[in-house]
Amino acid sequence: MSAAFTNPKGPTTQMVTPAELGEYVANQRAQTREDWFVASRSLEPSGKERGEENRIIADVWENCDNQEYRESFSHWQGSQGFQGEHWNAVGEKTHAVLSRYLPLFSTTFQARWHTNQLAMLEWGPGGGSNLFKFAPQSRLQYAVDLSAKNLGECAARLGDQAARFRPLVLSGPPESVQTEVGEPLDLFVSTAVFQHFPSKHYGLEVLACVQALLASGGVGYIQIRYDNGNPIYLPKTIDSYGRSLGHAFATSYPLDLFAYILDKLGFEVLSARIEDPNINYAGFVFQKR
């Protein structure tokens, strides 16, 4: 950050000593860190009226007329960056993470996992790699996305396993999903989606919805972009959402804040791991108390 230097001794012609200057700079830095700390903890909504907020998001994910960009950003099989095994890798990784922590999950969850009886919900399935990987183990697969095109692509990838697929097009607030799901769920998954939310508050609303939908002992895995003060990954205002890659850097959470939110909402955090420090990706595994 560059700011005009103000003489710490006030408007005087007196020289400032190097020590005083050092102290001043250190103090400024501390203030900047404190500002960042406070700002990064702001849990305010985006400031836009709900309908307008939905329109801004949908303009990127559903209505963008650059289909190649849309497919690649939604992680469709065969799109840029998601050819061949790269597409499968998304679901494989999610499965590997949950497999690793399986012994820590409730006995009911473990039994459903082993007998292919999971009722799951994915928020933002994009091209459907996670759904595809979990289909053989699931008795029901709900998927919430504000893009009907992406949900259509998921159905196509699921093929003859799509009979158990329940696509839900989100057109209202996150909580509107609750009335669409008829039973307590075993598993919630969301990868590479929370960073695209229009505010940290929006993610909070999604998590409150997850809390209402999961059965007691139900399991969640969420990937977030974490905020460690790196300006690239600081949360952005919704005004930059549709500009360039604005949506990809819209929302990030300090790791401890996200763990705190999960805890306060009634989840036990079983794991919080930095997954890729180059793009500030972290994964949280948790269980509803």
Ligand X SMILES: C[S@@+](CC[C@H](N)C(=O)[O-])C[C@H]1O[C@@H](n2cnc3c(N)ncnc32)[C@H](O)[C@@H]1O
Per CB under 6 A, residues contacting ligand X are: 57, 61, 73-75, 90, 123-126, 129-130, 144-147, 150, 170, 191-193, 196-197
Which is nearer to ligand X, 24 or 180 (by Cβ)? Answer: 180
Which is nearer to ligand X, 16 or 208 (by Cβ)? Answer: 208
Closest CA to 43 of 226, 285, 190, 261: 261
DSSP secondary structure string for all residues of 170-234 = --S-GGGGGGG--S-EEEEEE-S-GGGSSSHHHHHHHHHHHHHHEEEEEEEEEEEEB-SS-GGGS
Q: How far is the CB of 58 from ligand X (least distance, A)?
A: 9
Closest CA to 286 of 271, 273, 275: 271
226 Cβ neighbours under 8 A, 6+ residues apart: 233, 252, 253, 254, 255, 258, 274, 280, 281, 282
The C-alpha atoms of residue 203 and residue 95 are separated, in whole angstroms, by 23
Q: How far is the CB of 174 from ligand X (least distance, A)?
A: 7
Q: Degrees (nearest 5) of the Cα angle 218, 277, 53? A: 65
Q: How far is the CB of 224 from ligand X (least distance, A)?
A: 12
DSSP secondary structure string for all residues of 94-138 = HHHHHHHHGGGS-HHHHHHHHTT-EEEEEES-TT-HHHHHHGGGE
The C-alpha atoms of residue 73 and residue 36 are separated, in whole angstroms, by 29
Which is nearer to ligand X, 21 or 212 (by Cβ)? Answer: 212
Which is nearer to ligand X, 146 or 285 (by Cβ)? Answer: 146
Closest CA to 207 of 276, 253, 141: 253
Q: How far is the CB of 151 from ligand X (least distance, A)?
A: 8
Q: How far is the CB of 110 from ligand X (least distance, A)?
A: 24
Which is nearer to ligand X, 32 or 237 (by Cβ)? Answer: 237
Q: How far is the CB of 200 from ligand X (least distance, A)?
A: 13
Q: How far is the CB of 186 from ligand X (least distance, A)?
A: 18
Which is nearer to ligand X, 125 or 220 (by Cβ)? Answer: 125
The C-alpha atoms of residue 185 and residue 118 are separated, in whole angstroms, by 8
Which is nearer to ligand X, 62 or 106 (by Cβ)? Answer: 62
C-beta nearest to ligand X: residue: 126
